[in-house]
Homo-oligomer: A and B are copies of this chain.
């Protein structure tokens, strides 16, 4: 019986991994915008793989604001919540409040059920860059990365790579610093994030969600950091909407 269980797990995992060595969309980081993008892309029939450093997807949403485990979104993203069957309470003035544990687990559960595959405890450590196009991600067990062990990574090739790492914008940083790519911002370079101004941040987050160069896309907070907008604060509507927006852009590009 022990051997049967182990064989079932090993075979199930290796089939999943072999099936995802080449995907339509590789997403680095399973935060809210990446999960919404994955949900929409998988629903549209694309092969989507998410690589997430932590064991649990959900990004920075589990802890709500300052560990007070509620999150807030504005009414313009209620359709996304309804699509994912996540419940909310009206907070007046166009705001709704959501239990942050329901929010994070719901985003994750629905993305996987839609067909996206999440490889957790896996880090994206570099990008593949062929003929001036971002063509995949270089991955490693996060455990190996954290322990600083000298072990080579593997490669996932993809038609589109989405930077869903949020604040650190890790993938865009790699593209700019290692590949010398000029990205689609005012300066052609990463512009950094301003202090907090929620209204301005919410707006610019969605606005700056776009393709940055051939093969590379950014959504959610990342777009903000990259394009130099204001910080958004503990409100997640902009991220949900930027996830949905980037999914539309990628779907169009992959046609």
Contacts and interface: CB of A to CB of B under 8 A. Distances in A.
A97 interface: yes
A62 B55 CA distance: 6
Interface stretch (A39-47, A75-83, A101-109, A240-248): A101-109
Main secondary structure, interface of A, reads mixed
Nearest to A91: B8
A234 interface: yes
A251 interface: no
Contacts of A69: 13, 16, 118-121
A15 B97 CA distance: 12
A172 interface: no
Nearest to A150: B60
Nearest to A58: B56
Nearest to A104: B56
Please state the number of chain copies in the assembly: 8
A151 to B, nearest CB: 3
Contacts of A143: 67, 141, 143-144, 146-147, 149
Contacts of A18: 7, 10-11, 14
A120 B63 CA distance: 7
Contacts of A117: 99
A72 B16 CA distance: 15
B16 A3 contact: no
A194 interface: yes
Given A91-B12, A105-B105, A112 B99 contact: yes
B70 A8 contact: yes
Given A3-B157, A143-B149, A199-B1, A102 B97 contact: no
A57 B101 contact: yes
Given A5-B155, A6-B156, 8 more contacts: A2-B198, A9-B234, A66-B151, A67-B121, A68-B154, A105-B108, A143-B146, A146-B147
